[in-house]
């Protein structure tokens, strides 16, 4: 009998999803169309909930990782306050982790996770999923010069969600746009002004080159708005619609490739970093820089 021809396609990375809440269910939905990764186990102290979420993709349900079976990496999708407690021992054991945003609620916890990953030499990626929005990726594909971006305006507004009750609007919503504008500019933030409440906040950032970013995040506005406008030095105005995954220049639509599966693209980038020993799309250091700005905004609002 002839020997089988070896496949050039590597076996999917086996992921453990830790946290079977609403966000965990979103990851399960997102993974269904992927071939490079699979969620092999869903871990939650509520095993019934883990079973309900995992049953969609025939994943093992477990109350702890000890019963999750063989895995290659972990998705840490537990409440923000628990990120260090869950991810640090995994990283110390050499298990790569994708930790949902916000990275952690204080600098000590953030740095502990970064140190554990560095000591073990494994990938630590932070889940700033809007980096993977098709509209943002289309804008980045144009290779806009950061120095040419003079004014960035982001809005992220909707009515309240029962899903998020443990964090303010800066950590819940504005953190997405802080990450995006900081990634686009790639320069230090030299000044921060903010006003508002725990459910509605407006912030203005000034970068070291004098460019500004104006961000509004709200959980008390009817309807749903997710957009970013970038005014360039030459007068051109680019707009990204995060919901429709659209990109325009001066009001004219530009080509955008990619569907709505932002979480899927994020998981694929995580897998790529693991397989190729490459830097993650969003490193712990980048995420900590975002958190430094989050904390400054919270302080300006009197929330910290």
Closest CA to 147 of 190, 192, 206, 211: 211
* Per-10-residue mean pLDDT, the chain, length 304: 50 97 97 96 97 97 93 96 97 98 96 98 98 98 97 93 73 97 97 97 98 97 95 98 98 96 98 97 98 98 92
Angstrom distance (rounded) from CA 303 to CA 169: 10
C-beta separation of 304 from 197 below 8 A: no
Which tokens belong to 208? 């070291």
Can you tell me the distance from the alpha carbon of 147 to that of 175, in angstroms, rounded to the nearest whole number?
22
| Counts for the chain of helices (H) and strands (E), in that order | 9, 14
* 44 neighbors 20 (Cβ within 8 angstroms): yes
The residues, any chain, with a CB within 8 Å of residue 64's CB and separated by 6 or more, are 43, 45
Yes or no: say if 203 and 174 are a contact pair by the CB < 8 Å rule.
yes
pLDDT of residue 8: 60
Are β-strands 97-100 and 73-76 bridged in parallel, bridged antiparallel, or unpaired?
Answer: parallel
C-alpha to C-alpha distance for 279 and 252, rounded to whole angstroms: 35
- The pair of structure tokens assigned to 227 is 């957009």
Q: Which domains does the chain have, with CATH numbers?
A: 13-128 (3.40.50.720), 130-258+284-301 (3.30.360.10)
d(CA 198, CA 236): 34
Q: Where are the alpha helices (DSSP H) in the chain?
A: 22-31, 47-54, 83-92, 107-120, 134-141, 169, 175-185, 262-276, 284-301
């Amino acid at each position: 009998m002839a020997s089988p021809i070896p496949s050039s396609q590597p076996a999917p990375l086996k992921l453990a999803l830790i946290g079977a809440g609403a966000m965990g269910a979103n990851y399960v939905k997102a993974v269904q169309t992927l071939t490079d990764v699979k969620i092999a186990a869903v871990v939650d102290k509520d095993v019934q909930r883990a079973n309900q979420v995992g049953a969609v993709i025939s994943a093992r349900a477990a109350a702890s990782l000890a019963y999750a079976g063989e895995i290659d990496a972990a998705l840490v999708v537990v409440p923000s306050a628990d990120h260090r407690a869950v991810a640090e021992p995994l990283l110390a054991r050499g298990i790569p982790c994708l930790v949902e945003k916000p990275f952690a609620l204080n600098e000590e916890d953030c740095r502990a996770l970064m140190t554990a990953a560095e000591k073990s030499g494994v990938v630590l990626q932070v889940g700033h999923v809007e980096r993977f929005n098709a509209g943002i990726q289309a804008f980045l594909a144009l290779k806009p010069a950061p120095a040419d971006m003079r004014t960035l305006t982001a809005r992220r507004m909707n009515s309240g969600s029962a899903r998020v009750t443990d964090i303010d609007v800066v950590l819940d919503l504005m953190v997405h746009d802080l990450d995006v504008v900081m990634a686009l500019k790639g320069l230090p933030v030299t000044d921060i002004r903010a006003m508002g409440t725990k459910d509605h906040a407006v912030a203005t950032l000034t970068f070291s080159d004098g460019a500004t970013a104006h961000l509004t995040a709200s959980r008390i506005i009817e309807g749903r708005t997710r957009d970013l406008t970038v005014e360039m030095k030459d007068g051109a105005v680019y707009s990204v619609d995060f919901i429709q995954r659209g990109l325009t220049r001066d009001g004219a639509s530009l080509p955008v490739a990619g569907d709505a599966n932002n979480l899927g693209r994020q998981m694929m980038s995580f897998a790529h970093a693991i397989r190729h020993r490459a830097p993650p799309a969003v490193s712990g250091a980048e995420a900590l820089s975002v958190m430094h700005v989050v904390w400054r905004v919270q302080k300006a609002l009197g929330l910290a």
